[in-house]
Chains A and B, each alone.
Chain A
Amino acid sequence: MSRIVADHAVCEGIGMCETTAHEMFVVGDDGLVEVLQFEPDDVTLARAAVAACPVSALRLQD
């Protein structure tokens, strides 16, 4: 099962992940990414969201 890992130290709150997969990510009130679905149903979509982050704050761990 793949698991989404977010690194808050590098997250800029840009929101590309939310734009790509709003069911998995939201930019929270603190301006940082909040993972809504740590073990994504749609791994392909999760990969796309991870690859959309311009600051590489997201990873998909196997």
Chain B
Amino acid sequence: MVRRLVVVGASHAGVAAATAARDAGAYDEVVVVGAEERAPYQRPPLSKEVLTGAAEPAQLGVLDQVTLHTGMRARGLDPVRRVLVTDAGEVGYDALVIATGARPRTLPAIPEALTLRTYDDARGLGAALAGARRVAVVGAGFIGAEVASAVRSRGGAVTLLEQAPLPLCGLVGEDVAQRLLALHAAHGTSVRVGARVIGARRAAGRVTGVELADGELVAADVVVAALGVAPDTGWLTASGIALDADGAVRCDDRLRTSLPHVLAAGDVARVAGHGCGHVLTATEQGRAAGMNAAGADEAWSPRPFAWSQWYGHRLQLVGRFHGLATPALIARDEDGSLLAVAGEADRLLGVFGLDRPRQVAALRRVVGEPGSWERALEQISPAPAPIPA
């Protein structure tokens, strides 16, 4: 009998799972099934260099001794017969890792709105942006901000429309969120907060503007929906696997789902109550899932790290700011850079840096450790130089 691991999904989590399981050597065959036609590629450049046309995304992972099926879409899972159903037939498994990721949320009020998730999305969006006179981006999170940044890098006009009163406030805290809002303004991006999109104005069948609930019309010939993602689990509905209310596959910290021999990782999963959202997390979860499918007992614990590029500035976020007792402390410089930290008791739990890679790197190593708050305070207000003896 050939022992086979099947990984469904060929992006960051799936490739990490497949290569970790292959390296562990517990299976005769490791099969990766990917819906896209393209071989696995790095996703972070899509909203950055690929959008501006500056570079192509690099290859993702080294899949030697892994059987890769591209352009093959999962349609269902039969946990009793241990079979993955695809649009190209059935694939039997001994163990299976679900890593189908997520789909971008669309904007029902404007069906023409473009989204960004795959390479094809990025190329299509890049071409649309290049030909646009005015762009409206609905959603001012990281992806929305990166799209706005790409438009501005070409000198184009762009408006960010955000329903919340202060974008990214839940992620980075109020003070930092205010600073990031000011960054958009400083680089010529117009931002409307508290904006609820209700529809589009059209002329000759083409979008000419976005209508807001307060009656305002925002001129735009290209509309982008950057509203986050929803887990891609429609194909699992009949499998009986336990899903959360938003459709995410529920997992324990060993990446095990409710079905025997089935694990999940990345944006498709909610692992021990945590969503994914970042390539580093997806990769770590994928690797743990692959190792556990091969007989290991690896626990995954959250170690969130995200980065972004806005208007040539480097943003880095470690941990969290939301719901912490200690308010965020901020050190800022005349050059516009800033470092923010937040914690609880003696522990540093959140770090945000704008053009502060050294300090973020130093603090990232100690986040969550007892006594780490002391280290954070040193970075925020450096100790006075010792008096020479």
Contacts and interface: CB of A to CB of B under 8 A. Distances in A.
Interface of A: 12-16, 19, 27-32, 44, 47-48, 51-56
Given A14-B305, A56-B45, A30 B60 contact: no
B58 interface: yes
Contacts of B59: 51
B62 A51 contact: yes
A47 B58 CA distance: 13
Contacts of A27: 361
Given A28-B361, A29-B362, A48 B62 contact: yes
Given A48-B61, A52-B283, A13 B360 contact: yes
Given A27-B361, A30-B361, A48 B19 contact: yes
Contact of B42 (A28, A29, A32, A54): A54
Q: How large is the interface on B (under 10, 10 to 19, 20 to 34, 35 or more residues)?
A: 20 to 34
Contacts of A53: 42, 58
Interface string B299-331: 000000101000000101000000000000000
A31 B337 CA distance: 15
B240 interface: no
A56 B19 contact: no
Contacts, number: 60
Contacts of B279: 54
5 contacts: A13-B360, A16-B283, A19-B283, A31-B362, A51-B61
A14 B280 contact: yes
B45 A31 contact: no
B280 A12 contact: no
A53 to B, nearest CB: 7
A60 to B, nearest CB: 11
Nearest to B44: A54
A12 B314 contact: yes
Given A14-B280, A54-B45, A30 B357 contact: yes
Nearest to B353: A31
A56 B360 CA distance: 21
Contacts of B360: 13, 31
B358 A31 contact: yes
A12 B62 CA distance: 21
A52 B42 CA distance: 8
